[in-house]
Structure 1
Amino acid sequence: MFPLDVEAKGFLGSASAMRCLIWFLSSGDLSRRRNAVLGLRELVSTDERKVNELSDMEGAIEALFKLIKDPICPTSTKASLLVIYKIITSSPTKEKQVKKLVNLGIVSLLLETLVDSERGICEKALGVLDGICNSEEGRQMACNNALSMPVLVKKILRVSNLTTDFSVSILWKLCKKEKTEDDASVILEALQVGAFLKLLLLLQVGCVEETKDKASELLKILNLHRNKMECVDPMDNFKDLKRPF
């Protein structure tokens, strides 16, 4: 059935067909829910207009969230994350959709998913979290979640280059937020779980320029607070730099 040919995309891309796919996401059996989200993934991956149309459809974001919260299989979870990523990063109503997702509990759901997930899900979940953290509400929820710092620091240099890039980007957004406020608890927590050493190692190993710039700025922010606590990483002792982190 997938990938879809031009004729199938034309049929599924109609407004009525897309509304049916959303209905199947919410109310269909497992097979229909899986096929529905795969169909939406195909549509938004090849046509930016479908991202805009989908984001305006009632119940779409809630149905996609539900598919992550109550997963059917890794394939459907990855498809749902990809569709959400498209909506919150490129649709005209992305701010509205981010607010909906934050209210649904997307931040805690993503962090719990990231604790133990395969590479594909990990990359897409971090991508969505990075998009969510473009909003003040998203950053606040991430700052208030005890999993944020341990999970994000652990993913640096551990899964893939993409997970490293997203993790550094999210850390940068959260720590910059704290830098502008009196409360530096997130920065101190990042230090406590070994962010300073991980970022130093990242600069030694090398990364893309944008990530390098963010890592360098993060190190400057963290360095201002290093005198407040010892930088100890409970997860990695860094004795053997050849091991995966």
Structure 2
Amino acid sequence: MVTPVSLPRRLRGFRDRGGAVSSEIPLTLTVRRTPCGQQQQQPEVPAQFLCPISLEMMRDPVAAPTGITYDRESVEAWLNRGRSTCPVTGRPLRLEDLVPNHATRRLIQDWCVASGMADERAPTPRVPLSALDASELMGAVAAAAAPGDGAACRELVARAMALARDSDRDRRCLASAARAGAALSSAFCSLSRHDAQTASSAGVLEEILAAIVVFSSPLDADSMRRIACSPSSLSSVVSIMSNADLSLPHARAAAAVVLREIASSSDAQCLDAMTNTHAIYVALVNILQNPVSPQATKAALVTAYYLVTARGELAAPHMAELGIVRHLIELLVDCDKGTTEKALAALDAMLLKCEEAKGEARSLRALAVPVLVKKMHHVSDMATEFAVSALWRLCKNDDDVNGGCKAEALQAGAFQKLLLLLQVGCEGVARERASELLRMLNGAREDGAECIDTVDFKALKRPF
């Protein structure tokens, strides 16, 4: 049971022109009766110590030019959402206009100690990273990497990563003001030209690669070309993605993300460099065969898709030879929506560009066709389009009438699902290929076969 107790409130706090709070702090206590009948007094936080945005006690108070004090985290989140005015006064406010309100912070600390809430006291805030400091830090990374000083470079990158973990504001400052992507990619290329296995540089390439993903995703065009068009740099990225014994578990995922960024740029130079690096195909198939993380798997699927669509005559046969079709089909058996869409896109591209891939998929029709039929519904419009397209490619010109893909599709219920798909509605290429698939399957159906199973309408939304 909570019983309010009124205490003399002769003095109330007020805010001076500089945004600081006066030392005349109102004390309001709440009496909490314990089961034993004793009274336990818990002080309420004075109103002037509450952030006007979060309505919680400020831990890092900052004063705005408008005379209002906010908690730094709350007001920075407010401004980062695209707003440019003071939440209380409505006057213009910029992120760089905020200054630490040391007076208010000391008052909060003193009040916490006096009221027995020492655990809640506001810590001394760390000074936010300035644009100049960020530029100097990234410049030092590039300077240390130029002569191959891996130890110094690793220490500087670790400092930058620590800043990013502690403060999202510092991370954005390093990414934008310091152009971290350019500095880190330059450092990566410099160190990759040196012996990365020496004691001074062991592991530094992995840490730089992870930092590139943190500070500069998506990569700018210059950084992508710098990495992709340097044989030593590209080989280092591929080597990191292929190395299952790394001490940094996230490094392989970072390498996969960097390759995805480069491949999806559609830059001709980058795509040529990647296509001519056979180790990339091995690394991509290895990631699909032995998954590291969902992020790495999705990145590898996107990379494979862009390589096949842009340079299919070279990339597709290499990946088909390594067994990527089997891994794509097995991956589709049980995966989330995003992975399903990407795996279907890669499979459809492989079937389009490579006859060997089509032959491999047909040899696996007992698994491939039912999976494609299943993915036609209840995933997404994109997944439906790719699934229909892939099944259409498998059934088209398939002369094995008795045990071919058409017979497998009929057995898996593709005819009914395609009819339902056309009734529910699909557009464009998906509709054209679904209609053509129906004609192909209709020719392979036995006379008297039932067209529609009523269970297929179970999830259909009716207008009545």
Indicate which of 229, 242, 245 corresponds to 2:460: 242
Aligned to 1:13: 228
Indicate which of 186, 197, 209 corresponds to 2:428: 209
Does structure 1 retain, via aligned residues, the 8 Å contact 2:228–2:273?
no
Deviation at 1:233, TM superposition (A): 9.2
Q: Using the alignment, how far apart are the partners of 1:95 and 1:10 within structure 2?
A: 23
Aligned to 1:129: 347
Q: Using the alignment, how far apart are the partners of 1:102 and 1:33 within structure 2?
A: 23
Q: Using the alignment, how far apart are the partners of 1:232 and 1:153 within structure 2?
A: 16
Higher relative contact order (Cα pairs below 8 Å, separated by 6+ residues): 1
Corresponding residue SS for 1:156: coil
Does structure 2 retain, via aligned residues, the 8 Å contact 1:194–1:231?
no
1:64-213 alignment to 2 at 5 Å? Answer: 64-91=284-311, 94-134=312-352, 135-145=354-364, 146-178=366-398, 180=399, 185-213=404-432
1:23-62 alignment to 2 at 5 Å? Answer: 23-27=239-243, 29=246, 30-49=249-268, 50-62=270-282
User: Number of matched residues?
Assistant: 239
Q: Deviations over 1:59-106 (max 9, x none)?
A: 111111111111111111000010111111112xx2232222222211
Which has the larger strand fraction? 2
CA RMSD of aligned residues (A): 2.3
Does structure 2 retain, via aligned residues, the 8 Å contact 1:54–1:60?
yes
Deviation at 1:121, TM superposition (A): 0.7
Deviation at 1:5, TM superposition (A): 4.2
Corresponding residue SS for 1:40: helix
Structure 1 residues not aligned, in runs of 5+: none
Q: Deviations over 1:148-196 (max 9, x none)?
A: 1110000002201111001100111111121x45555211110111101
Corresponding residue SS for 1:113: helix
Q: Using the alignment, how far apart are the partners of 2:250 and 2:387 within structure 1?
A: 33
TM-score after normalising by structure 1 = 0.89
Q: Between the two proteins, what is the percent identity of the paired residues? A: 36
Task: Note if 1:225 corresponds to 2:441.
Answer: no
Deviation at 1:232, TM superposition (A): 8.6
Deviation at 1:118, TM superposition (A): 0.7
Q: Deviations over 1:125-170 (max 9, x none)?
A: 1111101112221111111112111100000022011110011001
Q: Deviations over 1:11-39 (max 9, x none)?
A: 32332322211121122623221111111
Structure 2 residues not aligned, in runs of 5+: 1-213
Q: Using the alignment, how far apart are the partners of 2:220 and 2:456 within structure 1?
A: 50
Which has the larger helix fraction? 1
Deviation at 1:45, TM superposition (A): 1.8
Does structure 2 retain, via aligned residues, the 8 Å contact 1:194–1:233?
no
